[in-house]
């Protein structure tokens, strides 16, 4: 069982990275869709730009898992 403070820290980490990703995708997504509407050949670059903000959540998940496993270890 995880320490309550570690669980709270992991939850805050995931919430923060989730909010940051949503905010970033809101901005990047609008610009990407606008650019692809004008030039459809930009689809590949737009797809990469939409995938990059997702790495923020992956890093947050890694940190949250480290918090839960390191603090709970005896």
* Residue 64's CATH number: 1.20.20.10
Instruction: Give the separation between CA 30 and CA 2, rounded to whole angstroms.
Output: 40
Q: Taking the model in full, what pTM does it have?
A: 0.77
Contact 29, 54 (CB under 8 A): no
Q: What is the domain range of residue 53?
A: 4-72
Instruction: Give the separation between CA 33 and CA 17, rounded to whole angstroms.
Output: 23
pLDDT for 8: 94
Instruction: Tell me the mean pLDDT in the region 17-31.
Output: 93
What share of residues in the chain are helix, strand, coil (percent, to 5)?
Answer: 90, 0, 10
pLDDT for 20: 95
Would you say the C-alpha torsion 18, 20, 26, 29 has a positive or negative sign?
Answer: negative
Greatest Cα-to-Cα distance within the chain, rounded to the nearest angstrom: 58
Each residue's pLDDT tens digit, 27-59? 998 999 999 999 999 899 888 988 998 999 999
pLDDT for 2: 63
Q: How many domains does the chain have?
A: 1
Would the pLDDT of 1 be above 80?
Answer: no
Q: How confident is the model at residue 69 (pLDDT cuts 50, 70, 90)?
A: confident
């Amino acid at each position: 069982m995880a320490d309550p403070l570690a669980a709270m820290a992991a939850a805050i980490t995931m919430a923060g990275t989730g909010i940051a990703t949503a905010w970033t995708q809101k901005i990047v997504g609008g610009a990407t869709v606008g650019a692809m509407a004008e030039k459809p050949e930009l689809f590949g670059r737009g797809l990469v730009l939409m995938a990059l903000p997702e790495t923020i959540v992956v890093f947050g998940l890694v940190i949250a898992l480290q918090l839960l496993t390191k603090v709970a270890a005896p």
